[in-house]
Structure formats: C-alpha cells, structure tokens
Chains A and B, each alone.
Chain A
Amino acid sequence: MKIPATKYPVERFTLDNGLRVVLTPDRSAPVVGVAVVYDVGIRSEPEGRTGFAHLFEHLMFQGSENLEKLAHFRYVQGAGGSFNGSTHLDYTDYFEVLPAGALERALFLEADRMRGPRLTEENLRNQVDVVKEEIRVNVLNRPYGGFPWLKLPPVMFETFPNAHDGYGSFTDLESATVDDAAEFFRKYYASGNATLAVAGDFDVTVATQLIERHFGDVPARPKPELPGFDEPGLSAERRESYVDKLAPLPAIAAGWRVPDPIADFAGYLPYVVLAEVLTDGDASRLVERLVQRDRIVTSVGGYIGFMGDEYQVRNPTALLLQAHMPPGGDAGKVLRVVDEELDRLATGGLTPGELTRTQARMATHLLRDTDAVLGRALPMAVLELQRGRPELLNELPRLVGEVTEAQIVAAAAALRPENRATVEVVPGANQ
C-alpha cells in the first residue's frame, strides 16, 4: 500500500519585531485556526516557582491592553469559536478555531495579549484557586493522577528543569506574585520568542495584511537565550515505586532516553516508529505478548515525550511504556517480558509486513490529525518555533514510511535494562 501525503501550502515570513508567521490556507471548510506559540515551558520555570509556566498561561486569558477580564473568552465564543491554551515542557500554546469571518478578530485578540496581559493581584489569586482545582481534578482526587507524566521524570532526571513537577506544588503556586508574572512575561513573551500560525479558509494576501496591521506594532523586546537542558543519561537502572491511595490496581511505566529529536531527527524517528511497533493495536508485539499471551497486563501503551507530543519536544526526552496490571500484578515480571521482547526484536528482526502495516496505520493517524484546522495550525507553529520547518508536517507520513527494519532493530537494541528508569504504582485503595 502506497502511503499518501498531504500538500498543504506553507507561506512563511517574519515581522520587523521578530514574530515568525506561518500561513497554510485550505478552503475545504469555512473555518480558520489561529495558534500563537511562545518558546517557554515547564523546563524554564524558576526553582521555587514550580507550576509557574502553567499558572502564567492562565493569566494570559485574564485581560490585556485593550481587553477587560472575561473579554477574550466572550469575543472568541461570541464569534462562534472555541479557544484554549496548554503548557508543555518546551513551549506554551494559545489557540482559537472559528468561522472564517472571525479571523481578524482572533488576530486582534492574540496581538493584544502579546502586548501585555493585565496582571493584577485579584486575577492572580483567582487563577491560583482555579489551577489548584485543576490539579485536584487531574491529580489529587483521582486514581493514577499524574501517572506517568509527573511521576517518572523525577526518577529519570537529575536536574530541576527536567525532573520537577510541572503542575506545581500548592506552596509554590500560592507564593507566586504579580511581579513574578510581570518578569516572566518580560523575559519570555517577546514577539521574537513566538510564532503565529494560521490555517484554513483565508486568502494569503489579505491575511498577511491583517497580521501586519495587528501584530506589526507589538513592541520588539530582546529574545531570551534558549538554555540547553541536556543532562547525562542513566548509567544504571533506576526503579522506584509509590503508593497511590486511590488506585485499585497496580501499574508501571518505564522510560529510556532517545536521540535528540531536533539535532538528530533521523536518529530519533525510528524510536517513534518502534513505540508503535511495540504497542499499536492487538497485532503489536507487546499487546500480543503481555495482554493476549501472558495475560500479565490489561493494557499497554508506548509513545515518546512525557506529554505525548513526539514532534514538538526538545532534548532530553524519552520513549515511554506504560502498562496497567491485573490484581496482584508483578511489575518485575512485566519488565522481564518487555526486555525479552526487545531482545527478540533486536536479534530476530521484524516479521514480514510488520513494519509496513505499522507505518500505514501511523500515516492514517498523522493525516487524520491534520484534517482539523488546529491540527495544522498548532503543530506548524511549533515546528516553525523549534525547527524553522513547518512544512515537516506534510512530510511526516513519508518520513515515517522510510524508516527501515535495520533502524528499528538498532533502536530496540538500545533500550536496555541498565539505561531504564521505572516507576511503579502500588495500589492503595481497598487495602
């Protein structure tokens, strides 16, 4: 089966204030997606201020130069659109999807907060409360909260940027001040530290004029130097466990460092494919072995990047496997079988058709994501920010399809017990 590709056009330019812009028009539906991405994330937040990048994301919705509190939400939704933002390890994104006729409004709203959010004590306290409720919903009040994205990094990494809790401690969140927020904005939210991508139903000439009109006078500020977050990989196996008092059943997650996703994309991509060979669907290696044959896990998943954003993460990152086990499940046994399967792959190679069918399914997933305007605007904004290559989105199905058996085998051989970090959930409910 031939792997098809998309041919979304890509126009790029940079404004005088340094804002990098990507336009990708497509008139198949009367909607537009607008994404603004800033080159700051969880890894950049200062010690003593865990969770600050995410808290600051909330503050970017609390009003800006020409907009009262609540106005942003009302103007997007009152135009028939939806909005959101999200904080990742290496970037923070803000986005809207709207009927095509609301494009200029979305550009106005994003430009206004790029000039500066309204940072007030009242808004800060309100959003600290909201974020605490977010953490309670997603982490503290549910089983497997933060597993493994908050639980594995401290086992795997040594340095604060890579190891700390990106949702933040309540103590740190409560200590945050308006001055901290002003400084964070000044340092990281410069127009030259951001990209803007627009996807969907628009004319490139018109959109270009609108972008110049609204973003052109956003004052330029110095762009911060991008720190390197690399740290040495593991020299010996690490394994920890914790009791989750809400979890009824055991679970385990293991991670291995992988090549630099940006500096060594060709070396990195085989690991992305390997994760799917191992865990995508009932015919994948680990599902067949762990779930169907040995029946020692009830589900297993594999992916790269602690937030599942394999094409939008910088070094260092990891290939993760996570599995949920039946009552009394034995994490040690699961790890032994995973090692056995990796060995079998590294020594015996793939079965006929195994790689091509995995690549075909990966192509479907990639293409499906790009059908939505935000599925183009968001990744293209990040690809521009991190690589200067938004068109990579069009190329991914083909590049995934070009990964060879030899590369998969070599990647599997690199995932050794001695460079693995593991965290185990010990069930504490009904005990």
Chain B
Amino acid sequence: MTHTLPDLVPDSKIKLPKQAERTLSNGLTVIAVRRPAVPLIELRLQVPFGRAPLARATLLSQALFTGTSTMSSIDIAAQLQTVGGGLSAGLDPDRLLISGNALASGLERTLEILAGILTDPTYPAEEVGIERDRLVDHIQVALSQPSHLAREALLKRMYGRHPYALQTPEAEQVKGVRPGQLRAMHADRVHPGGAVLVLVGDLNPDKAIDAAEKALSDWTGAGRDASVPATPALEPGPLVLVDRPGSVQSSLRMALPAVPRTHPDHAALQLANLVFGGYFSSRWVENIREDKGYTYGPHTAIEHLVGGSALVVAAEVATEVTGPALLETLYELGKIASLPPGEDELEQARRYALGTLRLSMSTQAGLAGLASIYASFGLRLDYLTEYSAALSAATREQVAEAAAKYLAPAKAVSVVLGDAEKIEPQLTALTSVEREDS
C-alpha cells in the first residue's frame, strides 16, 4: 500500500476570546480575557520603567516581594500559596513586569496581596541585603555563560550610547544599592499611571475588572516619563571578536535592522526572516545544521522594544568551523536579499506564521503573554486578526523587497565570542575583524 501526504483542512477564522477593558480612575488599564479551560487565572502587571537606573531597578525587581508593613516575605509567599498562587517580577529595558498565576477562586486574594506589595512595600534592610547578595552571585554566574557574554557584546555593538546597550548591571554597582534607594525608586516609579494589568483565565471579564478596581484603588501616582529615545540605526563595521580562551564553540551573533509590528513592512519582513532562518525549515538551519552539522540550535528572531526593533541572528558553532559557519550565514543573507523567495517556500513560511499565531493563543499563559506584550506597544489582542490578514496578504514581491531592505549582510553588525587564537584567522579570511577583550 502506498501512502500519500494528506491534505490540510483549511483553518477557521481566528476567533478572539471574550474580553473587557477599563482604565481605572488611578490611571491603571485593566484588560481581562476569558479562557475557562482550566480553573486558573494568569496575571501580568507591567509598569513603564524605561531609562530607570539599571542597578537599582534590577535589585528592585528582585526585592519587590521582601515585605510590607503587615507581611514578611515569607507571609507573602505563604498567603499566595494558600490560594495556589505565586508571583514573580522581572525587568526588561522598557518595563517592570510582575507575573503570576493562581487557582481561579484565588483571584481576589491574589489581587489584595499584589495591592499590598504595590502600595505598602517596606524593603526591609535584612531581606534587601539577601536579595542583593543573590543578585551579585547571579550576575557572576551569568558572566561565565557564553550566551550571556555574546549577548552583552552584541547589545553594546548595536546600541552604543543608547540606554538599551546595557541590560545587566555591574556587580559592583549592585553592591552599592541601599534599601532607601529602592523605597525612593518605588515611590517615584511604581505607579498605576501608564501601567497595564492583564488577567486571563477562568473568569468573568467584567467582574475580574471590578475585583481589580476594588483591590487596587488605593494604588495611586501619575507615573513619570519613562519614554525611551528611538534606537540609533545600526552602523555596520568590522566584526567584533571577543576572546574566550579555550572555548569549544564560538557564539555567532548578528543584528540587522527591523521594523515595529505596526509598520507596513512588518509582515513581509517576518516572512523573509522565516524563509532565511527564523524556523527549523529555513534555508539557514537546513544548511548549517541539517546539511553541514556545524551547530545544534541556530535561530533568528525579530526583537521588539519600545525604542525600536532589530532582527537578531544567533548560533553556537564548533570552534573549527567558525569561519565556514559565518560564510554560510553571509551567503544565505546575501541570497535572500538578492533573489526573490520561491513560491513554495514562501507559502510554507506563511502557513507556519499563521499556524503558530493560533498555537500561541491556545493557552491562558499564551494569551496573557500576548496581551501583555502587545499592550506595551499600545496594541490589543485584535492585533492578532490584523497581523494574520497582513501575513496572508503579503506578496512575493513585498517579501523580496523587505529582504533586500532589511536582511542584506552589508547592513549587519556582527559579534563572535570564542577562542580568538583559533578563530581569528578563519574570520579575517572573510571579513574585517576587530578584537575586543572580554
């Protein structure tokens, strides 16, 4: 019996979940989305934090749950657990993000505890000291990881004097942060004005917003200007080589220009990125992994920040094939920038982009992440419909144009971290190289 590939049943139209939105009198925007599949809620609260002093802001994010006037850090954790809940906080270059989840019946209690943390934090000296030491150790470990070092070098090369250039604080600076500075920064910046709370899960959207309004009405403050300047254009130049003696792999990183989600070129650029290297079945991955075996998990992605977007290319390759891996990368970028993609490979990339959008909306956590990240850019979940339409409509000519405009290797800035003694000759055979000692 022969077996032939079955046809796909066409997708139904994207169906957005039931949702509601309200901006409260304190300036907080609350978005509530219903997906009752499991009896849980997901919570994301983002507060604009652009241009915040890095060491202080990073420690604040780590020490946010150290205590209030009525609860110790242990009380906070225990009371959240009682409703199946947990909260954590993190910082990115644009925002402070609190993330968590709980049993659906614990929504009100979780919001109450969150309100205590936002309105009444004490940053006790003892607990802040513990978090400070942990953060210092954590930074030391990060600095021993090649992926982190390569990322740092790339950001520095991409952003120069822009605030995005530095995203991990120096350990020495963290050591100098005092609890009083965290209290001052919290009072100054952790405000509802401009903040967005997303609640997703087994909830009634209007009632969930009512609960948020009730719990968070005492949280006040206008917020402050957290706007970040637009990122500078990438300035192509010699490849930056960062020495990591004895490294058995080289970390290859490149950044290329990109556009925000709302730009007319965005969908076409995303398709060009996919055809080039943005998913497994791309030219670049099939070439350097499945044909040549140079690498395990090469990947590319368009990274969006409020100040600007960039396309980042990343691969860890064996030391002895660092030059050949760069050669193939430059070849594939040059090819996509110079020649239009084939019809079939474009349709394959298009279906991947459309399908994975649906997958990303199929869980509570996925919806919460999308709603929260879109809100950072002033977008809502209906952007999914708009983006799907743009992906469906992008023509081969538009994709070729976007590739020529954004993916040309001449526009890339490049960094390689590895054993310089072994890889510098390989790299200088292909491009001009400048050394930077790590």
Chain A interface (Cβ within 8 Å of chain B)?
Answer: 1-4, 6, 26, 28-31, 65-66, 69-70, 73-75, 77-83, 97-105, 107-108, 111-112, 125-134, 136-137, 140-143, 214, 217, 246-249, 280-284, 288, 291-292, 295, 298-299, 324, 326-327, 353, 356-358, 360-361, 363-364, 367-368, 370-373, 429
Contact A65 B3 (CB under 8 A): yes
- Docked complex Cα distance between A141 and B293 (Å): 17
Q: Counting CB contacts under 8 A, is B85 at the interface?
A: yes
Mask of B33-55 contacts with A, CB within 8 angstroms, 1/0:
00111111000000000000000
- Docked complex Cα distance between A373 and B359 (Å): 10
- For the complex of A and B, the 5 pairs showing the least CB-CB separation, nearest first, are A80-B355, A129-B293, A101-B9, A282-B77, A29-B362
A-B contact pairs, 19 of them (CB 8 A): A3-B103, A31-B362, A73-B280, A77-B280, A78-B352, A79-B8, A80-B352, A101-B10, A102-B355, A103-B9, A136-B248, A136-B316, A248-B144, A292-B127, A298-B138, A357-B82, A364-B101, A367-B39, A372-B363
Contact B102 A127 (CB under 8 A): no
**Residues of chain B contacted by A73 (CB below 8 angstroms):** 280-281
**Residues of chain B contacted by A295 (CB below 8 angstroms):** 130, 133
Contact B144 A429 (CB under 8 A): yes
**Residues of chain A contacted by B1 (CB below 8 angstroms):** 217
Contact B293 A126 (CB under 8 A): yes
Contact A364 B358 (CB under 8 A): no
Contact A299 B134 (CB under 8 A): yes
- Docked complex Cα distance between A365 and B293 (Å): 37
Residue of B nearest to A357 (CB): B81
Mask of B248-283 contacts with A, CB within 8 angstroms, 1/0:
110000000000000000000000000000011100
**Residues of chain A contacted by B38 (CB below 8 angstroms):** 6, 367-368, 370-371
Number of A-B contacts (CB under 8 A): 245
Stretch touching chain A among B284-292, B329-337, B400-408, B429-437: B284-292
Most B C-beta atoms less than 10 A away, residue of A97, A143, A282: A282
Q: Counting CB contacts under 8 A, is B70 at the interface?
A: no
Q: Counting CB contacts under 8 A, is B78 at the interface?
A: yes
Mask of B120-158 contacts with A, CB within 8 angstroms, 1/0:
000000010010011001101101111100000000000
Q: Which of A74, A100, A125 contacts B281 (CB 8 A)?
A: A74
- Docked complex Cα distance between A65 and B105 (Å): 51
Contact A141 B40 (CB under 8 A): no
Residue of A nearest to B143 (CB): A248
CB distance from B368 to the nearest CB of A (A): 11
- Interface size class of chain B, counting residues whose CB lies under 8 Å from the partner chain: 35 or more
**Residues of chain A contacted by B286 (CB below 8 angstroms):** 70
Contact B11 A101 (CB under 8 A): yes
Residue of A nearest to B147 (CB): A142
CB distance from A35 to the nearest CB of B (A): 15
Contact B130 A80 (CB under 8 A): no
Residue of A nearest to B293 (CB): A129
- Docked complex Cα distance between A133 and B296 (Å): 5
Most A C-beta atoms less than 10 A away, residue of B38, B133, B286, B348: B38
Q: Which of B106, B281, B354 contacts A1 (CB 8 A)?
A: B106
Residue of A nearest to B289 (CB): A130
**Residues of chain B contacted by A6 (CB below 8 angstroms):** 38
Contact B316 A141 (CB under 8 A): yes
Contact A298 B249 (CB under 8 A): no
Contact B84 A360 (CB under 8 A): yes
Q: A29-B37, A249-B140, A298-B138 are in contact. Are A360 and B81 (CB under 8 A)?
A: yes
A-contacting residues, B1-46, CB 8 Å: 1-12, 15, 35-40
Q: A66-B3, A69-B290 are in contact. Are A247 and B130 (CB under 8 A)?
A: no
Contact B78 A283 (CB under 8 A): yes
Residue of A nearest to B6 (CB): A104
Q: A1-B103, A100-B9, A130-B293 are in contact. Are A361 and B84 (CB under 8 A)?
A: yes
- Docked complex Cα distance between A70 and B291 (Å): 10
New A-B contacts (16) at CB < 8 Å, excluding given A133-B296, A142-B146: A30-B358, A30-B362, A31-B358, A31-B362, A66-B3, A80-B351, A80-B356, A98-B359, A107-B6, A142-B145, A288-B74, A292-B127, A298-B133, A360-B83, A361-B86, A364-B102
**Residues of chain A contacted by B347 (CB below 8 angstroms):** 78
Contact A360 B352 (CB under 8 A): no
Mask of B296-324 contacts with A, CB within 8 angstroms, 1/0:
11000000000000000000111000000
